[in-house]
Structures are given as C-alpha cells and as structure tokens.
Amino acid sequence: MREHINDPYVKLAKAQGYRSRAAFKLAEIDERDHLLRNGALVVDLGATPGGWSQLAMRKGAQVIAMDILEMDSIPGVTFIQGDFTEQATLEQLALALNNRKVDLVISDMAPNMSGVATADQARSMYLCELALEFASAYLKPNGQFLVKVFQGEGFQEYVKLMRDVFEQVLTRKPKASRDRSSEVYLLCKNLRPSVTPA
C-alpha cells in the first residue's frame, strides 16, 4: 500500500485526472509508436477502471471499451460489461462495431489472480490468445494490436502465434511498468495477407 501511495505515476494520474497509473504505460508506448490518432476506431479490452480509454479519447479516438467489471461512464466511450471468454460478449462487441474494421485493439486484460502461479499464467495466456483472435478478425489490414503479456509458461509460443498473424511483433516495457513485474507489452503491426479477408 505504501508503494502505491508513494508511486510517482499514481500521483501523476491524480494530477492529470486519469483513473489509473496504467494510462502512462499506454502514453509512453503511444509516444514512441504513434498508436492513437484523431478519428481512429479503438477497442479497449479489459478497460476498467478506464485509464486507457480516457487517454484514447483525449487523443480524439472513437472508443469501444469492454470489461467483466463495471466501469464508471466516460463521455463518448461505448462500454460493454461482459466476460470476454463468452460468446455473448463477443456478439455485443460485434454489434457495437456495426461492420466497421478497427484501427487499434488494446488489451490490458488479466484474470483474477488465484495465487497459484501456473494456473494464473495459463488463464492469462488464454485471455491473450482470445484477444489475438479478436484482433485478427476485426483489425484493418494496417491495424495495430497492443496486449499485456506476463512472461512465463506459454509466452514464447504466444509470440510465435503472433508472428503467424502479423508481419511485425515488437516488445515494449514502459517505465510505468514496475521493474519487478513480469508484464511486458507486445505490439503487433500489419496483418499478414493470409489473415486479411479478401
């Protein structure tokens, strides 16, 4: 708790009106890779409490956000509360997209941690795989996919899967990500032609 209170990014988030310190992870990656732009259609998976959606909105993006938990509304953001592992939630997302292709899929999803490391890692990787499936189905050919991944069992296999789907896979570890955390962010660019529908 003391670490959280004294965290400079927590203080910065309060000062700048962001709901979470995670906004600065996305902000740093965006500064380097120019993900967010005015008018872009962005899907934010695992959005609660809303820091990433806030940042995307401030950059002028159109945002559809999803989380299993409730999220206080953000003006201009379409929010869907649901379990991403369930078909009904995917159908709600598809309905909200209304046949539009997406410029950017961002995923900060993580399972509720049980404390059993192997089980938590497996559940986390499963969410990442579902996010990759979603991105490959809904992104524009030149769209981008940013996902939080915990390094551990299944990580290398997941990167290989990504390389089958995207032409470019980059690793990002923003300063706002705590050093002791095994999380990294993988940024994928340009769907391979075999993935892009004709």
Annotated binding residues for S-adenosyl-L-methionine: 50, 52, 67, 83, 108
Contact (Cβ atoms closer than 8 angstroms) between residue 166 and residue 190: yes
Phi and psi at residue 85, to the nearest 5°: -85, -5
Active site residue 173: no
Nearest Cα neighbor of 41 from 118, 91, 87, 101 is: 101
Tokens 């961002």 appear where? 106
Nearest Cα neighbor of 188 from 35, 73, 85 is: 35
Q: Which of 14, 59, 148, 175 is catalytic?
A: 148
Measured distance CA(179)–CA(183) in Å, rounded? 9
Measured distance CA(64)–CA(117) in Å, rounded? 31
Q: Which residues carry a binding-site annotation?
A: 50, 52, 67, 83, 108
Catalytic residues: 148
